[in-house]
Amino acid sequence: MCARYVITSPAAAVRALFGYDEQPDFPPRYNVAPTQPIPIVRLEDGKRSFALVRWGFLPAWVKDPRGFALLINARGESVQDKPAFRNAMRRRRCLIPADGFYEWSDTRPRRPYFVRPKSGRPIAFAGLWETWTGPNGEEVDTAAIVTTRSNRLLATIHDRMPVIVPADAFELWLDCAKVDDTTAAALIMPAADASLECYEVSAAVNRAANDSPGLIAPAVVAKDGAGARSDAPAESQKADDQLSLF
């Protein structure tokens, strides 16, 4: 799963890659966590548009969000079939700008690792978004990151990873009017092993309040091979990648 990620590229570099007209200015974030606002790119009237939404998918048909587990990830293998995601997969696909993500080892004690592109350039996670309308007409836009099985590089750490959409396939994922969900689903695959690098980082990332460049610095590993020994944050241990927003 993907429960924390990083977006540190200058706003101008992100805008140049994704090709939207808006000129938002946002600070680097080294520990983006569920329920926080996140930038997404989606198509509006045929043009790419920047938006801030809440990380944690809330289907439009939910009556009372207090009784619904928030979905931070959507498993790519079932995204066309699950009631929570199938409409968004058909009509509301988006891209989520990022510069890397954290993953925790499946072994105990769980160790955090930082995964980033070798190119040093920003990347795009495949995402789904939805607008939930409350009983008083209030609207909340939310999103989830689509995940897939890990590539060989990450398989020794964890069995899941976010889907990374290559730049030349942005339109294929975004254009729900011209590209059906089955065609778009062909992009749901692990990233090439050679495109990424990963290394262990400090357990300080476990605390969502921590947000500084030091979080992505390599961990100091002891001679016995032991690094940061602290369990992953609670949200990455919950079943089915679910959280409560309320």
Catalytic residues: 2, 103
Q: Which structure tokens are listed for 96?
A: 């989520």
b/e for 78-90, b at 16 or more Cβ within 10 A?
Answer: ebbeeebbbebbe
Distances (CA, A) of 153 to 25, 87, 110, 198: 34, 32, 17, 8
